[in-house]
Structure 1
Amino acid sequence: MAEKVVEVTTHMGSGWKVTAQVREHLLVIDQPSASNEGANPLETFLFSLGGCISAIAKMVARERNITIRQFDVHVRAVMNSAGLLGQPSDDPVGFKEIAINASIDADLTDAEKNEFLDTVCNRCPVHDNLLRPSLVTHQVQH
């Protein structure tokens, strides 16, 4: 199968709001203390994780002919904000831990729900990037 390329270009003006036009959707990231027009980057990151897990759950359920009446994902992350504020810290700048708790309304036993969630998380690209980070490069565009 050919590689798939996913691209997003963001724009930030004089305030804290960051926008991106993704297909026909205008996405907004903002800071609560600013104009508060969107979730902050950390909340958006966790939403991406929960959203990806949900989409993969729908795919796996379809493949296995499982009817999922409802699938809710609660993502909780803990971080020390010292690093992002430019203060010294032995902790990572990002999250120290992320916990995923899925509520699955389907005709499955608890063991089957656990196996289903394991399968889903193992197929989720966002989840995989957290376990096995991708090479990330950065440069100033000239």
Structure 2
Amino acid sequence: MVKQVLKAEVESLGGLQLKCSARGFDFLIDEPENVGGSNQAMNPLEALLCSLGACKMMVARFFYQAQQINLHSMKVEMLGEIDSERLKGLEGIKVGFSKITTHYTIKADNTAEEIQAFISFIEQTCPVKDTIVNTPEFEIKIDAI
């Protein structure tokens, strides 16, 4: 097995704005004004939903022809349910999403059964979903300077 290591870096830009970087590409993360941010970008949970939806879309785009799907268009909408009381430190409240729903809108010249099989393939093949469902080992390293 050949392992690949992907690297991402996050840097504070002041306030709650963050610069996220990987392979020479950057994007911003922020929070809405009502929680102290400047509302200049999506928050980390929204970025996670986007990453999950984008991964599902990439799997679809990579494999639709091999799966014999005559795809005309596709959209993925991600909905994440989260308890708004999560950051108050109350016992028994899950901090992260309690439910994530994927809503696929697909226009294709295929039967409902073929489209359902294709969606099942996407759900089984998406690396971001696999990472969320089958949590990886976490390791923390600290350089105190």
Common fold: TM-score over 0.5: yes
Give the TM-score of the pair, scaled to structure 2.
0.88
Identity of aligned residues (%): 26
Give the TM-score of the pair, scaled to structure 1.
0.90
- Aligned mates of 1:44, 1:76 — CA distance in 2: 12
- The answer for unaligned runs of 5 or more in structure 2 is none
- Aligned mates of 2:8, 2:111 — CA distance in 1: 40
**Equivalent residues in 2 for 1:1-142 (5 A)?**
2-33=2-33, 34-83=37-86, 85-142=87-144
The answer as to whether partners of 1:75 and 1:99 remain within 8 angstroms in 2 is: yes
- Number of aligned residue pairs: 141
> Structure 1: which 4+ aligned runs deviate by more than 4 Å?
none
- CA shift, 1:65, in A, is 4.1
- The answer for unaligned runs of 5 or more in structure 1 is none
RMSD: 1.6
The answer as to whether partners of 2:67 and 2:118 remain within 8 angstroms in 1 is: no
> How has the CA–CA distance of structure 1 residues 87 and 9 changed in structure 2, closer, same or farther, with 3 Å as cutoff?
same
**For structure 1, which segment, 64-73 or 3-12, has the greater mean C-alpha deviation from structure 2 after superposition?**
64-73
